[in-house]
Amino acid sequence: MVQAKSWTLAKHFDGFPKDSDFHLKVEELPEPRDGEVLLESVFLSVDPYMRPYSRSRMKEGDVMIGTQVAKVIQSKNPAFPVGSHVVSSYGWRTHAVSDGTDLTPIMPSWPQDVSLSLALGTVGMPGLTALYGIEEVLALQKGETLLVNAAAGAVGSVVGQIAKIKGCKVVGSAGSDAKVAYLKELGFDEAFNYKTVSSLDEALKKASPDGYDCLFENVGGHFSTVALQHMKNFGRIAVCGSISVYNDATPQTGPYPHLMIIFKQLKMEGFLQSRWAHKHPESLKRLMAWVKEGKLQHREHVTKGFENMPAAFMGMLQGENTGKAVIAA
């Protein structure tokens, strides 16, 4: 018997999440039966999607959704020996019993000197999102200029670096001067703090007077409205996220982008990384190769302690993280 902790959604978020929306539950888990394993979380992920999905995919009392890197601590399934690591989608839990069908083993060639936490970030879902947005949605070409917002985060920091690998000019925006300095370290050509520039319009014009071929959209809302005005004719926009509206209690309204899209003949496509799940194993190998070659740098914002997950989640939504926000259990 193991004592398992989980964070449940006590109350649907109304506006920005608060401590009382979460409940810490403790329960005894049964021993794994034949074919099953007992998992213990090692690293847990907090991601923006948890905010909108909490409304569309969860009811009050459910365990918070999410992925984690877990270690097999008991096994009655030969495919998952004790001591091996997996990525699981069991959400905000310290322990879980699984029959293995919904587990993804960490790639066998995972280098010893690379933290397994990267399986939740640069060599995980956010890295895949960056890769597919650039290659499958934007089909970014050498010499083009790309704009990415929330650029110092898990997805954005990978977007900018892959665009540099592809020989593009990259402009990024982020919410602090320290993040802007980090973007320069990563090789971004231009970066600015969207919270302190006197005019977003001017900042976008200054960073690329000729405009932008591509926009990797993570933020939406007002930023998007202004950025569309700086797209070149026939520009492409990959709509990956819209974090600036996730906590709105009342939906934002206009200005509406359609005239701008028509006059500039823009192409805008929303996407979910899961569309290319069949490519994940190969894509993760490519991301790992870039990490090993030093072409893909990574930073993490690590919160220690499972009890601190709600704080880590709310902190990420407020921009406390540079790079991927993870919890070390």
Ligand X SMILES: NC(=O)c1ccc[n+]([C@@H]2O[C@H](COP(=O)([O-])OP(=O)(O)OC[C@H]3O[C@@H](n4cnc5c(N)ncnc54)[C@H](OP(=O)(O)O)[C@@H]3O)[C@@H](O)[C@H]2O)c1
E strands, 111-266, where? 145-148, 169-174, 190-193, 212-217, 231-239
- Told to check if 172 binds ligand X by CB under 6 A, we report no
What distance in Å separates the CA atoms of residue 266 and residue 260, rounded to the nearest whole number? 8
**Cα(47)–Cα(50) distance, rounded to whole angstroms?**
6
Least Å from the CB of residue 159 to ligand X: 9
CA distance linking residue 2 with residue 25, whole number of Å: 14
Which residues in the 247-306 window bind ligand X by CB under 6 A? 271-273
Is 238 among the residues that bind ligand X (CB under 6 A)?
no
Please, which residue, 32 or 323, has the CB nearer to ligand X? 323
154 in contact with ligand X (CB under 6 A): yes
In Å, how far are 109, 114, 132, 266, 276 from 292, measured between CA atoms?
A: 12, 9, 20, 36, 24
Regarding 48 and contact with ligand X (CB under 6 A), the answer is yes
Is 94 near ligand X (CB under 6 A)? no
* 50 contacts ligand X (rule: CB under 6 A): no
Pick the piece of the chain touching ligand X (CB under 6 A) from 67-75, 104-112, 147-155, 197-205. 147-155
The minimum distance between CB 325 and ligand X, in angstroms, equals 6
* CA 120/CA 218 separation, integer angstroms: 18
**Which position among 124, 153, 172, 310 is part of the footprint of ligand X (CB under 6 A)?**
153
* CA–CA dist 287, 169 (Å, integer): 20
Helices (H), 73-199: 125-132, 154-165, 177-185
Q: Does 321 bind ligand X (CB under 6 A)?
A: yes
Interface positions with ligand X (CB under 6 A): 47-49, 126, 129, 150, 152-156, 174-176, 179, 218-219, 240-244, 271-273, 316-317, 319, 321, 325
